[in-house]
Amino acid sequence: MNDPIAVWRSDHEYFRRLLAYLQHEVDVFHAGERPNYELMLDVLTYLRDFCDRVHHPAEDAAFGRLARRAPMLLPQLEQLAQEHRVIVHAGEALRGKLAAVLDGSVVPRGEVEVAAATYLVYYGNHIAKDEETVLPAASQLLTAQDWAAVRETLPRESVPDERFRALRRQIAAETS
């Protein structure tokens, strides 16, 4: 994490690409065609396993540090932290719907579309708010000591494994 703001922005850019891929597959589903459910589940798994386990906890730690340096941002920071919890639940709801479809269950189309829309809208708006509010303030106010403390909150195995590197290559190939 040499430049934590650059890493944060890079993560967000990749998350936006994953969300765009999910949106494309939801559009395929909405058109009555068969989306790539397996790859959609892989994307959700990545977002859950990496983002919810590594990225969002690091953000939460940075939010805590930023709140001490800029108390006027506390309401926005609390809302963003709460959105992390909503994103986790919305992602699990969507993952459950997609897994049920793959298992052969009959899931009403509207339920899948609502779960997908909730996840996509929350996640997309969350990233936009981070970029608009938090990143500029964090880049100005957080010190090297703050970022070192944020790094300490990360799990030891915070780098995505080979399965997710392969997912990244596959999605890059499909969306190029």
Q: Nearest-CA neighbor of 119 among 17, 23, 36, 1? A: 23
Contacts 24+ apart (CB under 8 A), 80-85: 80/126, 80/129, 80/130, 80/133, 80/134, 83/122, 83/125, 83/126, 83/129, 84/52, 84/56, 84/59, 84/60, 84/126
pLDDT one-digit tens code per residue, 36-75 = 998 899 899 888 877 877 888 888 899 999 999 999 999 9
Report pTM. Answer: 0.86
Instruction: Give CA–CA dist 82/78, Å, rounded.
Output: 6
User: What per-residue confidence (pLDDT) applies to 116?
Assistant: 96
Full residue range of the structural domain in which residue 134 is found: 4-175
List of residues 6+ apart from 75 with CB closer than 8 A:
none
> CATH number of the domain that 10 lies in?
1.20.120.520
User: What per-residue confidence (pLDDT) applies to 1?
Assistant: 47
User: What per-residue confidence (pLDDT) applies to 68?
Assistant: 95
User: Would you state the structure tokens that stand for residue 130, as one six-digit string?
Assistant: 């981070």
Q: Which residues of the chain have pLDDT under 70?
A: 1, 156-165, 167-168, 171-172, 174-176
Domain count, the chain: 1
Q: Is 175 helix (H, G, I), strand (E, B) or coil?
A: helix
Q: Nearest-CA neighbor of 65 among 153, 129, 132, 159? A: 153
| Average pLDDT value for the chain | 88
Instruction: Give CA–CA dist 57/52, Å, rounded.
Output: 7
Percent of the chain with pLDDT over 70: 90
